[in-house]
Structure 1
């Protein structure tokens, strides 16, 4: 492996940081013991800037470039944003409908506990939620199916692969300019 630049961030696919590297987990470090790294990072990711500074924190996060893009909000190095879980409201979902058809199956031999060709789940009777005397293969009223979920949040994370972001603690000091 080549000599890294101090402060270089790389991904590693194992559960430890190699020698001379540390996990990008938001750890607070003393400036006095890490002056070269502090001169590059400053307090971009946290710390008081007098005695401590902080590593970037990629624990349970995804990397993002800084800057702006068409239709996107501006991003600055060190920003954290996004939500791990989101509760959708009716105003956030596009208007749509679902047809729901019940198949009247009076032959008990063709009733099944799960959907299968030629079978049905139940027969409309007065003790079931179906209307008595329903026509075979009749469609339910549009209001039969409505919002569900009980206002519970759903996971909102990007697809991920278990790798660790690590930052170089030692190596070459990057040169600035041409």
Structure 2
């Protein structure tokens, strides 16, 4: 591969950045030593714009193309989002019920096999036939604990080129 563009990002499997590259860890750099890179990214990722600017910070992040998605959501350059864990609210759980079928007829069996709780419980607490209803009384379930929200992943390093060819505009 030829010389990289200044500001080009690459995934890198090594544990050190090659010469002329830096890890994308949000480091704040002096503009005076990195004028070409500053010309390209400015203060998009941080810095004061007078004497410093920052590199993108991709630690724990998945890069995503900036722009408007097919669904109509717009994401701007340097925007961050997402969470590693989420706790669902009651409104986010799919609609469902925890009904218990019961019979409105008298009990007719001593066996629970194929039966449902009966309206009367003389000696036989189970009904094997008759109309059934659903009792709606139940206690709350769940512990409101967060659960992981992350897709499977493999950690690699992202590096950015400090030097190279200035990218021409098309």
**Same topology, TM > 0.5:** yes
For 2:151 and 2:27, how far apart are their aligned partners in 1?
24
Instruction: Give a deviation string over 1:40-68, Cα, whole Å, max 9, x none.
Output: 11011111100110101110001111111
- Partner SS for 1:32: helix
Distance 1:96 1:34, change over 3 A: same
Distance 1:27 1:138, change over 3 A: farther
Say yes or no: does 1:153 pair with 2:146: yes
Distance 1:25 1:137, change over 3 A: farther
Map 1:72-151 to 2 at 5 A.
Answer: 72-97=72-97, 135-136=112-113, 147-148=141-142, 150-151=143-144
* Structure (1 or 2) with the greater strand fraction: 2
The answer as to whether partners of 1:11 and 1:163 remain within 8 angstroms in 2 is yes
Q: Which moved more, 1:46-55 or 1:81-90?
A: 81-90
Map 1:45-60 to 2 at 5 A.
Answer: 45-60=45-60
TM-score between both structures, scaled by the size of structure 2: 0.73
Q: 2:163 — aligned with what?
A: 170
Unaligned runs of 5+ in 2: 101-109, 118-134
Aligned length: 144
For 1:36 and 1:19, how far apart are their aligned partners in 2?
17
Question: How well do the aligned residues superpose, as a CA RMSD in angstroms?
Answer: 2.5
Q: Which has the higher Rg, Structure 1 or Structure 2?
A: 2
For 1:139 and 1:58, how far apart are their aligned partners in 2?
57
Distance 1:3 1:144, change over 3 A: same
Map 1:31-70 to 2 at 5 A.
Answer: 31-70=31-70
Distance 1:51 1:79, change over 3 A: same
Say yes or no: does 1:14 pair with 2:14: yes
Instruction: Give a deviation string over 1:76-120, Cα, whole Å, max 9, x none.
Output: 1111111221110111011135799xxxxxxxxxxxxxxxxxxxx
Unaligned runs of 5+ in 1: 101-132
